[in-house]
A and B are shown apart, each in its own frame.
Chain A
Amino acid sequence: MTPVWLFLAQRLTALILAPLVIAHLAMILIVADGGLTAAEILDRTRGSVGWGLFYGTFVLAAAIHGPIGLRNVIQEHTPWRGRSLDAAMLVLGGLLVTLGGRAVVAVVGQP
């Protein structure tokens, strides 16, 4: 993938992530303040297509955005370059999708 594509992917995912992160943080504050229990939260999220889309998009965008940014940081501050770095970042992206996907399934999936 060329640097232009990586640049575009990182900017587009940043655009997606910005409102999602704000909504996510706002929800944490509202839920903590409102005193909802874990069971009450899961009652609302399980089987919900909307929450599935919300957090599914969040996970995918973060899995693309994070490794591209980390790759830039590594290239700027260490001599690590080339295919091994690209492969490591792909693994990281895969890991984020896997772990994030598990969390999404746990929150929106039916028990």
Chain B
Amino acid sequence: MGEPGGARETLTVEVWRGGEAGRFETYDVPQGANQTVLDVVTWIQRHAEPALAYRFACRVGVCGSCAMTVNGRPRWTCRTHVSRVARGRRLRIEPLRNLPRIKDLAVDMTPFFEKWQRAQGRFTPTRTRAEPMAVVRPESAPRRAADAGIECINCGVCHAACDVVGWDPDYLGPASLNRAWTLVNDVRDGDRHGVLKAASAGGGCHSCHTHGSCVEHCPVGINPTAGIAGLKRQSLLDLVGGGLP
């Protein structure tokens, strides 16, 4: 933090440059009050390295596009204050783990979203707009389970934090399985059995080791591990005939 009345302090920031092959380059960035990691990256791009590639949109923790690895941990950079993560005024900023690097801090999110599709993480409607809206009781157990995971912003932080994603390229990962769990619990969905089948196929929920890294790192406080445990439970219940209605 800057000292009151003193000269303006600077941060020493190492930033990954290049694609899969590359190197860290170091920049001195003026430190400011309430500065976020995204502010730091933006300062570098505007004042020191105009060719720096990175991704952001909303800057307020809604769009989920600015996730990067900061001092070794995946984080949403727009809501991560430098004062909370800098070690001795040093930052090391890299692209997210477990996804192909495109350039500098931008990764290719295609495998991430392809896994959402493999997990059938899409709503299957059962009504047309001409029909009345479905009545879903907010306090019902399935709705509460769905609500617990529904605020995912698709930032990819859990995907980057997950060791199993890093080991097994077939593993669907916490985000897509969390999405599948919300759909399995959405009584309006027209293919809950299909979602459960997709989420429990090879590389699905049964591959989870329950390490809990996704829970630890999720910036919006979702517990994907609990959802994955729910999918495992539900798949076993389905096997013995006591599953989804």
Please report A residues at the B interface, Cβ cutoff 8 Å: 2-8, 72, 75-77, 81
Contacts of A5 in B (CB 8 A): 239
- List the count of A-B residue pairs having beta carbons below 8 Å apart: 31
Among the stretches B39-47, B164-172, B211-219, the one at the interface with A is: B164-172
Contacts of A2 in B (CB 8 A): 200-201
A8 → B minimal CB distance (Å): 6
Interface residues on B, range: 10 to 19
Contacts of B204 in A (CB 8 A): 3
- Select one of B170, B201, B232, B236 contacting A75, CB under 8 A: B170
The dominant DSSP class at the A interface is helix
- Select one of A3, A6, A75 contacting B168, CB under 8 A: A75
Is B225 located at the chain interface by the 8 A CB criterion?
no
Is B235 located at the chain interface by the 8 A CB criterion?
yes
- Select one of B168, B201, B202, B239 contacting A8, CB under 8 A: B239
- Select one of A4, A72, A75, A77 contacting B235, CB under 8 A: A4
**7 intermolecular pairs with C-beta atoms under 8 Å apart:** A2-B201, A3-B206, A4-B200, A4-B236, A7-B235, A76-B168, A81-B170
Residue of B whose beta carbon sits closest to that of A4: B235
Contacts of A6 in B (CB 8 A): 206
Residue of B whose beta carbon sits closest to that of A75: B168
A7 → B minimal CB distance (Å): 4
- Bound Cα distance from A72 to B88, whole angstroms: 42
Contacts of A75 in B (CB 8 A): 168, 170
Across the interface, do B167 and A76 meet the contact criterion of CB distance under 8 Å? yes
A3 → B minimal CB distance (Å): 5
- Bound Cα distance from A75 to B169, whole angstroms: 9
Is B185 located at the chain interface by the 8 A CB criterion?
no
Contacts of B170 in A (CB 8 A): 75, 81
A67 → B minimal CB distance (Å): 16
Residue of B whose beta carbon sits closest to that of A72: B207
The 9 closest A-B pairs by CB, nearest first: A76-B167, A7-B206, A76-B168, A4-B235, A3-B206, A4-B200, A4-B239, A3-B202, A75-B168
